[in-house]
Amino acid sequence: MMRTRPLKVALLGCGVVGSEVARIMTTHADDLAARIGAPVELAGVAVRRPSKVREGIDPVLITTDATALVKRGDIDVVVEVIGGIEPARTLITTAFEHGASVVSANKALLAQDGAALHAAAEANDKDLYYEAAVAGAIPLIRPLRESLAGDKVNRVLGIVNGTTNFILDKMDSTGAGYQEALDEATALGYAEADPTADVEGFDAAAKAAILAGIAFHTRVRLDDVYREGMTEVTAADFASAKEMGCTIKLLAICERAGDGQSVTARVHPAMIPLTHPLASVRGAYNAVFVESDASGQLMFYGPGAGGSPTASAVLGDLVAVCRNRLSGATGPGESAYAALTVSPMGDVVTRYHISLDVADKPGVLAQVATVFAEHGVSIDTVRQQGKDGEASLVVVTHRASDAALTGTVEALRKLDTVRGVASIMRVEGE
């Protein structure tokens, strides 16, 4: 039997995502009520610019006093889509203290202060849900947190930023340079006027921290994630990748060490074989590959950003939280019981593709090979092309630690026959 008294929802932020959340709540009100077991009512919308016309939203609901809204005491759920650290952090904790559960899409805040937010939710016996914080509409956090709760996840490997995937896909498919592909992404609305958060990997790093924490039941903060942007990727890198049967993606990689005692989380460009499922992810789409003991390999794919996809994830959380409110229960909170060590990037073991500019004369290859051997880095393949006294030497290694590779490159730079290191790229997905 449906309860007639509505559950009241406060919306913090009414931009691209917030306005779509409000629209769906209004147009799908009957369906949402049937799924939840009670009507849901938009009780207030906090914004910075109250004079802006917001179609479909009663102007009476608009307020600039977000603090007063979350303190009302009659709010059942606060939906936070304003982003950033403050005032979002204070508003969320205030909402818990005044009786509301929270649905958030704030990846930056969760990556930085997720543990404190979970603690505040638990202290007040309230829910904190955030499916929309990672990979837009793709159901990912809930499967990791609930569906795979009885399994052991060993690796999460994914494309979690649509802007960077669009740019790299254009460079791969058309031969365009980085700036040309970025300009097209900006013109089409896939890239912000300031794309730094995307192209330098900050956005993906925040998502990696969240995913690693859930997958490995360990607190992983943004500062624990190694981050490397994609602005230095060139058309020449794609040419080399194609010669290896690979393409290049900006990947978020979260891994459990072989001994099971530590984990790593990192974001960087990498070559992946064309045979890997992630290689076929095109345009602005996201995809995440999960490897676990019992389930084996799973892949989650779909639109990773945008108003409607992100709002879909928010509404899914809203339904779940509202159901919990009606039953007097709360959903899964933070699971950090494993408390594994988060290892530095130097401990990461993978393959490498190194392109060197060298003198075109006898003995160069032997010198280079000796340096690799001295640092314990085994060479898989070597390709050399020379002309007019200069040459390009491409070395692909077997698996080696990042620390060993760093030492190798430092030694290579000291060789008189090495003119420069044109590029270094990791090879993943094998």
Q: What does the CA dihedral 236, 366, 416, 384 come to, rounded to 10 degrees?
A: -20
Active-site residue identified among 8, 107, 207, 249: 207
- Specify whether the CB–CB gap between 113 and 89 falls below 8 A: yes
* CA-based torsion, 414, 417, 422, 426: positive or negative: negative
DSSP E strands in 97-227: the ranges are 101-104, 128-129, 153-159, 226-227
126 belongs to the catalytic site? no
Residue 294 DSSP label: T
- Token pair listed for 397: 């290694």
Q: What does the CA dihedral 209, 214, 216, 221 come to, rounded to 10 degrees?
A: 30
Q: Which amino acid is at 213?
A: G
Q: Mind giving me the DSSP string for 222-281? A: GGGSEE--STT--HHHHHHHHHTTEEEEEEEEEEE-TTSSEEEEEEEEEEEETTSGGGG-
Cis peptide before 87 (omega within 30 of 0): yes
Residue whose structure tokens are 């950003």: 305
- Specify whether the CB–CB gap between 302 and 136 falls below 8 A: yes
- Specify whether the CB–CB gap between 117 and 279 falls below 8 A: no
Q: Residue 150 and residue 144: Cα distance in Å, rounded?
A: 10
Instruction: Name residues whose C-beta falls within 8 Å of residue 30's C-beta, 6 or more positions apart in sequence.
Output: none
Angle at 107 (CA atoms; ends 258, 261), nearest 5 degrees: 15
- Specify whether the CB–CB gap between 381 and 351 falls below 8 A: no
Q: 27-49 burial by CB neighbour count: b if 16+ within 10 A, else e? A: eeeeebbeebbbbbbbbbbbbee
Q: Mind giving me the DSSP string for 308-354? A: HHHHHHHHHHHHHHHHHHHHT--------TT--EE--GGG-EEEEEE
SS3 102: strand
Residues designated catalytic:
207
